[in-house]
Amino acid sequence: MTGPATDPRRLVPRTDAVLAEPRIAAAVERLGRELVKRAVTTAQQRARRGEITPDAVPAAALGALPATATGLRPVLNATGVLLHTNLGRASLSAAAREALALAAGTCDVELDLETGGRGRRGQGAIDALLAAVPGAGAAHLANNGAAALALVATALAAGREIVIARGELVEIGDGFRIPDLLTSTGARLREIGTTNRVHVADYADAIGPDTAFILKVHPSNFLISGFTRAVGISELTGFGVPVVADIGSGLLAPHPLLPDEPDAAGALAAGATLVTASGDKLLGGPQAGLLLGAPGIGADLVQKIRRHPLARAMRVDKLTLAAFEATLRGPVPPTRRALDADPAELHARARRLAEQLTGHGVEAEAVDSAATVGGGGAPGVTLPSAAVALPERYAAALRAGDPAVLGRLEHGRCLLDLRALPAESDDALATAVLHAGAGRAR
């Protein structure tokens, strides 16, 4: 019988001794004492139960710790959806990530270093946006696209009417509805036309002394075809009231692959007084709401909106300002690179990956694929792409990997589409597939 003196549980190292071990101490610096201490305590309990040896406690504690102090996990986007909402939409550029790191410390976000006095908050980001859309006379940033539109409605239409076509009373993700947002600001909606058709005369009949503005909402996540009629921005500029265009996706200038997707420059050129959009979609930046005003009355309205009390509640933080500016001033962001990807190069990458995986015993094949924009943008538009096809059973194992890989299931296969995945991630993708296959073999 084992006596107290030889009981292995007495050999379990003390908590303070484990925390002093160099590798554990380094983890404390990276993750915080409480998180690491919980992992050490759990490892000690395992040792007392005889699941591991006492000298294995430090290693077991380290093995149970996350890579970072956040519960978020990196995911390789092999879905073929460029802006996957569940994956955080736009992936930031290296320049934007560097800007985030800079802004994470103290910085001159609201300080004029030359005078030592208060500076215009985020002036660099605003200047970058105005440079990217030279047809705008003023700009403002809110914390997302819905906030930008709500801010416009609150500042300009509380207690008044917004004229909007019935076919533009859209619902977007998670049950969020544009009409609910607008009426929550105290504005009233004057709905005109029918679901599929609206005419200039409908707008003319609705305009009155209570009209705050005409709102054009781009139906970015669905298409209506057949017997339809819509009224363009340029046809609405003669009624003596502002025209607000919510273009949604954040495309700043026309793109040849997306001829039907409205852009900020085009909306302003057509006569829009104000334009609202998102920053984390086709613009390729962080989550933000863009508000652009045409020179003259549009610019004056932007300044009025910027001074509204609600603008403070909807303002963006220093991290967003830094990443947004770097997205516009820096190199082409990942979203634009994915949109402009050469299909021939995508096929070449798929073939190389399939050959590499086949050489390691994985059943893999390079196949044609069709990618989409996603994020509520460019409905019905498909982008030619290429994918690596694997047996369907790989999908779950890839999601459980580190990094996780998200593909899509199609016709009984797991497709790893390369359009939204940068070429520099191909090695990591191949390694993830090999690990997933090895895990299933065990």
For 105-162, write each residue's pLDDT tens digit.
999 999 999 999 999 899 999 999 999 999 999 999 999 999 999 999 999 999 999 9
* Residue where the block lists tokens 């959806």: 81
pLDDT at residue 221 above 60? no
- Nearest partner of 84 among 257, 335, 261, 256, judged by Cα: 335
DSSP 3-state of 35: helix
- Cis ω on the peptide bond leading into residue 219 (within 30° of 0)? no
pLDDT at residue 376 above 80? no
For 87-107, write each residue's pLDDT tens digit.
999 999 999 999 999 999 999
Helix (H) or strand (E) holding 246: strand 243-248
- Under 8 Å between Cβ of 383 and 369: no
Annotated domain spans of the chain:
10-64, 75-86+337-441, 93-331
- Under 8 Å between Cβ of 91 and 403: no
Residues 6+ apart with CB under 8 A from 123: none
For 332-363, write each residue's pLDDT tens digit.
999 999 999 999 999 999 999 999 999 999 99
Q: What is the mean pLDDT of the chain?
A: 93
DSSP secondary structure code for residue 274 in this structure: E
Give the tokens for residue 59: 């290693």
CATH of domain 75-86+337-441: 3.90.1150.180
* Residue where the block lists tokens 């008044």: 160
Q: Which fold has domain 93-331?
A: Aspartate Aminotransferase; domain 2 (3.40.640)
For 19-60, write each residue's pLDDT tens digit.
999 999 999 999 999 999 999 999 999 999 999 999 999 999
* Amino acid 195: pLDDT: 85
